Amino acid sequence: MTSLSPELEAFRDRVVAFMDPHVAEYGQAARLGLSLDDDIALARRWQATKAAAGYAGLTFPTEYGGAGLTQLEQVIFVAEEAARGFPAGYFVISLSMPIPMMLRYATPEQKARFVPPALRGEQIWSQLFSEPSTGSDLAAVRTRAVRDGEDWIISGQKVWTTFAQYSDYGVIVARTDPDAPKHRGLTYFFVDLKAQGVTVRPIRQLHSAAEFNEVFFDDVRVPDAWRLGGVGDGFRLAVETLMIERYTAAADETGFGPPLDALISLAREAQLDGRPALEDGRVRAVIAQAYATQQGLLAISEKSILELAAGREPGPEGSIHKLVGARGRREVALCALDLLGTDGLRFDAAAHPRPKTDFAMSWMDQPTLRIAGGTDEMLLNTVAERILGLPQDYRPDKLPR
């Protein structure tokens, strides 16, 4: 059996040595009770700190401010970052989808202009794919882009755009040929979300915070130079973007909920049948099963790192993580809320509770996790079709015309 190389272990040691002195300022405890705005401000400072130390954009080329390392170092870094609860989430979309796509398809001038500031946390980028009429059916995009001299005029509506209210730029897929078959008439651009004609409307979610937005494009002018890839190539590029996402899906075995330790601490205080809840078999079963699941996910992550190191494509680890992590998080959160009894009802949205530290928020946010970034059903389809070779769903939209 192969294990991680001494070089990578040494990299991990360096990362740990870099991070530990910053825990007091940026770690989990420092973020408790911060408003969303303050947390984002903290995240920007942490991103700048990483950039100054050469740890932002680990896989990005050095000429654009990156570190020129591999996915492996990236995975190791992200795992250590997550373990300390540093605020990195606001830049995950920017740096794992739009910016890598710019690096692949934009001109050198554009890369030089956009990539370094994004790495320093000065810009946040959005991904504008979903629309009211599309979800998992990405090719059903209706937002139009019409050629006008050297520019394109974009009109339409995007939705479920993560952090668009804080974003400066985004990548968008728009229909440039309404007569072509639906998968072929799309083109991929990047857009200035502060431009004339762009309206961002936050969507309040069931837990009352707004991570997602509707974004309206009302004759927004975009230069042709901001097109990525060929005209009509948008669907392919969008799928490519999503594949990067699956590839880099963050590996947090708690499903982004509070750690198991928090449930144990709670169960130590709580009583069931006049005994400490920690002695209750039902609580112990939840703890044991959650532990076993989380360790299994951790092992899958570790294996995928080694697969990468061996030069092999990892499998659908990201999909499994999201699917299983979200379920495990629900079990843990429900157990915690049960132990709290009626106190479990307490929830103050104005205090901006975070799903990583607050059980009520974790439970309320769990439906989101099952949908965002690919529904459970789509992930199961991916596993069934791509790995197990089961037949594809009936797809009349893909039948030859």
User: Could you give the count of Cα atoms lying within 13 Å of 373 in the half-sphere of its Cβ?
Assistant: 25
By beta-carbon proximity to another protein, the closer residue of 149 and 391 is 391
Instruction: Report, in Å, the least distance between residue 200 CB and another protein.
Output: 35
- Judged by CB under 8 A, does residue 29 bind another protein? no
Does the protein bind another protein through residue 261 (CB under 8 A)? yes
Rounded (5°) CA angle 27-31-32: 120
- Compute the least distance from the CB of residue 284 to another protein, in Å: 4
Cα–Cα distance for residue pair 171/97, rounded to 1 Å: 9
Total of residues contacting another protein (CB under 8 A)? 48
C-beta of 108 vs 281, nearer to another protein: 281
Q: Which is nearer to another protein, 177 or 307 (CB)?
A: 307
Q: Which stretch binds another protein (CB under 8 A): 17-25, 126-134, 185-193, 280-288?
A: 280-288
Nearer to another protein, 16 or 299 (CB): 299
Report in angstroms how near the CB of residue 346 gets to another protein at its nearest: 23
What residues contact 43, with CB distance under 8 A and at least 6 apart?
A: 87, 88, 89, 90, 91, 121
From CA 330, how far away is CA 127, in angstroms rounded? 27
Q: How far is the CB of 227 from another protein (least distance, A)?
A: 37
Is position 248 an interface residue for another protein (rule: CB under 8 A)? no
Host H or E run for residue 267: helix 260-269
Candidate list 2, 24, 275, 396; residue touching another protein; CB under 8 A:
2
- For the chain, what's the residue count? 401
- The answer to whether residues 336 and 277 touch, using CB atoms and an 8 Å cutoff, is no
Contact window for another protein (CB under 8 A) among 97-105, 210-218, 299-307, 364-372: 299-307
275 binds another protein (CB under 8 A): no
| Residue 380 interacting with another protein (CB under 8 A) | yes
Does 6 contact another protein by CB under 8 A? Answer: no
In this complex, which beta carbon is closest to another protein, that of residue 151 or of residue 280?
Answer: 280
Helix (H, G, I), strand (E, B) or coil at 216: strand
b/e 188-214 (16+ beta carbons within 10 angstroms → b) = bbbbbbeeeebebebeeeebebebbbb
Which residue do the tokens 């009302």 mark?
A: 218
Burial class (CB in 10 A: 0-12, 13-18, 19+), 36: middle
Q: Which of 296, 367, 368, 371 binds another protein (CB under 8 A)?
A: 296
| 367: contact with another protein by CB under 8 A | no
Residue of 69, 238, 297, 337 interacting with another protein (CB under 8 A) = 297
Residue 384 is a binding residue for another protein (CB under 8 A): yes
- Per rule CB under 8 A, is residue 299 in the interface with another protein? yes
Q: Interface mask (CB under 8 A) for another protein, residues 303-342, using x and -?
A: x-xxx--x---------x--xx------------------
* Nearest residue (CB) to another protein, 16 versus 390: 390
Does residue 302 bind another protein (CB under 8 A)? yes
Instruction: Decide whether 43 or 300 has the Cβ nearer to another protein.
Output: 300
**Which residues within the stretch 148-177 sit at the binding site for another protein (CB under 8 A)?**
none
Closest CA to 227 of 167, 154, 164: 154
Please report how close the Cβ of residue 321 comes to another protein at its closest, in angstroms: 10
Listed ranges 78-86, 223-231, 338-346, 384-392: which one lies at the site for another protein (CB under 8 A): 384-392
DSSP codes joined into one string, 357-388: T-HHHHHHHHHHHHHTTS-HHHHHHHIIIIIS
Residue 3 or 62 having the CB closest to another protein: 3
d(CA 286, CA 112): 50
399 in contact with another protein (CB under 8 A): no
- Cβ-contact 326, 293 below 8 angstroms: no
DSSP assignments along 312-355, one per residue: PPP-SHHHHHHHHHHHHHHHHHHHHHHHHGGGGG---GGG---T
CA distances to 70, 218, 361 from 291, in Å: 30, 50, 21
CA 111, CA 367: separation in Å to the nearest integer? 37
| Binding stretches for another protein (CB under 8 A) | 1-4, 260-261, 264-265, 268, 278, 281, 284-285, 287-289, 291-293, 295-300, 302-303, 305-307, 310, 320, 323-324, 377, 380-381, 383-385, 387-394
